[in-house]
Amino acid sequence: MNQHELEYIERMAQMPLSCRIISLENSSPHWHYEYEAFFVLRGAVTVHDESTTERLGAGDIFLFNPVEIHSINQSEQGNLCLVLQFSPDAYDDVYKANFRFELNTRKGLPDNAVNIFRQNLAGIGLLLHEKPNGYQFYVKSHLYGFIGSMFRYLRYQVEHAAEQPDSLEDFDRVKKYIKQRFAEEINQAQLCRDLAVSRATLYRLLKRAGASSYKVLVNYYRIEHAKGMLRNSQTPIPVIVSESGFESESSFYRIFRRLTGVTPSQYRNAPQSNIAPFGVQGYVGFAESEAIAILRDIYAR
């Protein structure tokens, strides 16, 4: 199977998880084998999964399930988010089945449950930052507190088929095709012929990924390429427009601003940040001290 667009999660040393604080511009639709809890600390983001598009603000938490195609986009510049990822292996000594949970704190959870989820996530983030003696044990205790609360407070269903859905293979093939040809004029009919998928199948895959059309993915990779050129060269913008596959500067400016929140010139002149021209995620720099202060405030409540 082709897994080029699968995001591989690298767990921390001595930890059954990955956790980081980020400021996010956007992510392309992707998937992984782990659960991913997305906790907004400041600002706002919009999350998309196979059934939902939801705008999250400060204090909100959303859970993506394993092998679920999803993406995130900034709703406001300057967002801060804590992302916790962990494998279903974390509970398989108790439960051998796979579970699909519904965690969206904007929808009907009691306040005490929301606070428990927030404090466990804030505790993990703080401990990994401060690293006091024995912090590894405390991090694990917060992780299992989070998982225990999932079973206690959330609606869930057992997934009897542990294997990855076949449609993910087709989705990966579509993304790889577009990623390799974003600078060309990609014709939907040709795409379907080259990949041997029907228009109905393509529509279903894109809808599952939260994309209204194949052009959404094309534009994502075009803008990612343009961002790399803006950051790493003094190439004139008209040349960037052409090399990124846009027909006109007006469409480039319109789409660039929609996906990043700024103009190309503002993006080029902003303080340098660690953004890869290609990849699943698009992160930007932020002041870590502010994020830690927010986590301390949440944990102390």
**Strands, E assignment, 137-230:** 155-159
**Which residues are registered as beta bridge partners of 127?**
none
**What's the number of CA atoms in the CB half-sphere (13 Å) around residue 166?**
1
**Does residue 125 share a domain with residue 31?**
yes
**Does residue 152 share a domain with residue 25?**
yes
**Does residue 172 share a domain with residue 254?**
yes
* Structural domain boundaries, residue 254: 167-270
Do the domain assignments include residue 277?
no
DSSP helix/strand/coil, 274: coil
**Which residues are registered as beta bridge partners of 199?**
none
Q: Find, among 109, 45, 24, the residue nearest to 282 by Cα.
A: 24
**Does residue 148 share a domain with residue 82?**
yes
Measure the CA–CA gap between 290 and 300, rounded to whole angstroms: 16
| CATH for 127 | 2.60.120.10
Burial of 25 (0-12, 13-18, 19+ CB in 10 A): buried
How many domains does the structure of the chain reveal?
2
Do the domain assignments include residue 7?
no
**Confidence at residue 257, expressed as pLDDT on a 0 to 100 scale:** 82
**Confidence at residue 277, expressed as pLDDT on a 0 to 100 scale:** 35
Are 209 and 29 within 8 A, CB to CB? yes
**Which residues are registered as beta bridge partners of 164?**
none
**Does residue 153 share a domain with residue 291?**
yes
Antiparallel, parallel or unpaired: β 80-86 and 17-27: antiparallel
**Confidence at residue 3, expressed as pLDDT on a 0 to 100 scale:** 33
**Does residue 198 share a domain with residue 122?**
no
Measure the CA–CA gap between 209 and 31, rounded to whole angstroms: 10
Are 63 and 38 within 8 A, CB to CB? yes
Do the domain assignments include residue 4?
no
Do the domain assignments include residue 230?
yes
**Does residue 217 share a domain with residue 262?**
yes
Question: Quick one: which H or E segment has residue 154?
Answer: none
**Does residue 157 share a domain with residue 24?**
yes
**Confidence at residue 4, expressed as pLDDT on a 0 to 100 scale:** 34
Digitized pLDDT (tens) for each residue of the chain, 301 residues in all: 333 355 656 677 778 899 989 888 777 778 787 899 999 999 999 998 878 889 999 999 999 998 788 888 887 778 899 999 998 889 988 987 889 999 999 998 999 999 999 999 999 999 999 999 999 999 999 999 999 999 999 999 987 544 445 566 777 788 888 888 888 888 888 889 998 888 888 887 777 665 667 888 888 888 888 988 998 889 999 999 999 999 899 999 998 887 777 789 988 887 654 333 334 455 555 668 888 999 999 999 8
Measure the CA–CA gap between 105 and 59, rounded to whole angstroms: 9
**Confidence at residue 173, expressed as pLDDT on a 0 to 100 scale:** 82
Burial of 192 (0-12, 13-18, 19+ CB in 10 A): middle
Are 101 and 34 within 8 A, CB to CB? no
**Does residue 289 share a domain with residue 261?**
no
**Confidence at residue 292, expressed as pLDDT on a 0 to 100 scale:** 92
**Confidence at residue 176, expressed as pLDDT on a 0 to 100 scale:** 83
Do the domain assignments include residue 23?
yes
| CATH for 209 | 1.10.10.60
Angle between helices 167-181 and 214-232 (to 10 degrees): 50
**Confidence at residue 284, expressed as pLDDT on a 0 to 100 scale:** 56
**Does residue 204 share a domain with residue 190?**
yes
Do the domain assignments include residue 10?
no
**Does residue 215 share a domain with residue 138?**
no
Instruction: For residue 169, give the DSSP letter.
Output: H
Q: Measure CA 21 to chain center.
A: 12
Do the domain assignments include residue 11?
no
**Does residue 126 share a domain with residue 39?**
yes
**Confidence at residue 127, expressed as pLDDT on a 0 to 100 scale:** 95
